[in-house]
Structure 1
């Protein structure tokens, strides 16, 4: 079943109407869900959205969870114990579960009423990757529940973004190599952005830098930067600023102005410069994170190469009891 068929099937089964959507996962999969939570918070008038790390969902189930709920659970390998347990808990409470994984033998599928075996890798079309599929689910669920005026523009954005990404990756490749060589010996990075992309500042920090490179990192919301974090700004610490196109761009521009004055190690990744403006103004902000994920992957690969620290290297994950 495709996204439209899944959404229509759930709609037909919920006579009272879908009342909430919960996005549940761990780590990078949870990061992929942040844009959809942001989208529904922004666009929905009635539909309630929740974003949960899986183990917290299991231990602190929302009281609203029930037959009018849709629970979307994502796990790349499909066997993350916390995510599997979350899907099981959702089913036991009568919710409609949608599972996303790259593994056709995943345990997650045992507790998924509907499932998507998504594409992965450099050759895949990003619209078939989990972040875009979940965004599509969110947009179509919103449309069937209460209508969404920009549904057509959103679908066009899904068709357009892959081409923008492919061009953007070529555009940033040289500067990513310069960045990696320049900052190869740094041990701490701050990542700033706003809007739907904030999840990817968090994801780049905890997954790309902390998990995959064993580097210290922290995500800072561009809007919160001036309410405490900017006090650590100096000329010795590297900042990575992802600038959005859309309603929150002004927040990112304010941060850039300050960083240009008081910092020296600043890397700016600008969605506008990378061509995202070809997507309709009404929906473009929701596609910033889809672009940024692929772009920051170019940066992390360059950093891993110059540091001689492969992205797959782990010392705890999957190696010790935890």
Structure 2
């Protein structure tokens, strides 16, 4: 069953319909949800959205959770215990649940009224990856309730984005190698972005750098950079700036202007430069993080290669009790 039909069926089976959306996951799967939270906060006039890390959702259950709620829970491996418990909690409170995983035998599936088993890998069409699927769920949920004006443009964008990314991969290949060579010995990065992509700045920090490379990192919202964080700017510390196309680009441009004046180690990844403008201006901002995920995966792969630190290497995760 496709996403549109899932949402249609949930709406038909719920007397009150869907009034609120909860996006629940951990780590990289939670990162995949920030786009949809931003989209909903931006475009919904009546429906509410909340983003939760799974264990907080379980231990601090929102009082608004109920039969009028749609809870989307994602776990790549399907067995993240906090996320499994979150989906169970959602069902116990009468909410409709959609679960997403790459593992067809994952424990998470048991607690999904609907389960989406997504594909994975470099050859997979981007629209079939979890970030895009969850975005599609959010768009369909909003459209089914409020008749979202940008609906057709988003659906068209989901068909366009794979081609954009394929070209962008070629465009950044050498640049990513140069980045890795230049910054291979750094032990701290600040990652800046805004709008729909702030979540991916956070994700690149905690997953790609901290988890996969054991390198210290911190995400900074471009709009918040000037309200404290810019005081540590110097010519020795590396910054990665994810430049959005769309309404919040001005925030990123302001940060870049300052960084160029007072910093030196600056890596800019600009979605406008990477050709995202073939997507309609009204909805293009929502596609920035989808592009950034694929492109920054190249950056982290090059960093792992030159540092001789495979992306899969762990010292705690799945190895010790926690």
Q: 1:16 offset after TM fit, Å? A: 1.4
Query: What do the CA deviations read for 1:255-311 (whole angstroms, capped 9, x no partner)?
Result: 000001111100000000000000001100000000000010000000000000000
The residue number in structure 1 matching 2:173 is: 173
1:63 corresponds to 2:63: yes
Query: Helix, strand or coil for the counterpart of 1:71?
Result: strand
Query: What do the CA deviations read for 1:108-127 (whole angstroms, capped 9, x no partner)?
Result: 00000001000110000010
Question: Is the Cα contact below 8 Å between 2:277 and 2:284 reproduced in 1?
Answer: yes
The residue number in structure 2 matching 1:254 is: 254
Query: Helix, strand or coil for the counterpart of 1:225?
Result: coil
Query: What is the root-mean-square deviation in Å for CA atoms of aligned residues?
Result: 0.4
The residue number in structure 1 matching 2:77 is: 77
CA distance in 2, matches of 1:254, 1:105: 47
CA distance in 2, matches of 1:283, 1:10: 26
CA distance in 2, matches of 1:140, 1:100: 16
Query: Helix, strand or coil for the counterpart of 1:315?
Result: coil
CA distance in 2, matches of 1:128, 1:176: 25
1:50 corresponds to 2:17: no
CA distance in 2, matches of 1:59, 1:189: 32
Query: Helix, strand or coil for the counterpart of 1:234?
Result: coil
Matches within 5 A, 1:140-179: 140-179=140-179
Normalising by structure 1, we get a TM-score of: 1.00
Corresponding residue pairs, total: 322
The residue number in structure 2 matching 1:232 is: 232
CA distance in 2, matches of 1:38, 1:244: 14
Q: 1:17 offset after TM fit, Å? A: 2.1
The residue number in structure 2 matching 1:301 is: 301
CA distance in 1, matches of 2:111, 2:306: 42
CA distance in 1, matches of 2:321, 2:92: 28
Structure 1 unaligned blocks of 5 or more: none
CA distance in 2, matches of 1:125, 1:311: 22
Query: Helix, strand or coil for the counterpart of 1:250?
Result: helix
CA distance in 2, matches of 1:13, 1:286: 30
Q: 1:14 offset after TM fit, Å? A: 1.3
The residue number in structure 1 matching 2:98 is: 98
1:107 corresponds to 2:130: no
Query: What do the CA deviations read for 1:165-224 (whole angstroms, capped 9, x no partner)?
Result: 111111001000000000000000000000000000000000000000000000000000
Query: Helix, strand or coil for the counterpart of 1:175?
Result: helix
Question: Is the Cα contact below 8 Å between 2:10 and 2:17 reproduced in 1?
Answer: no
Query: Helix, strand or coil for the counterpart of 2:196?
Result: helix
The residue number in structure 2 matching 1:270 is: 270
Query: What do the CA deviations read for 1:111-152 (whole angstroms, capped 9, x no partner)?
Result: 000010001100000100000000000001000111101100
Q: Which runs of 4+ in 1 moved over 3 A?
A: none
Structure 2 unaligned blocks of 5 or more: none
CA distance in 2, matches of 1:191, 1:184: 16
1:130 corresponds to 2:130: yes
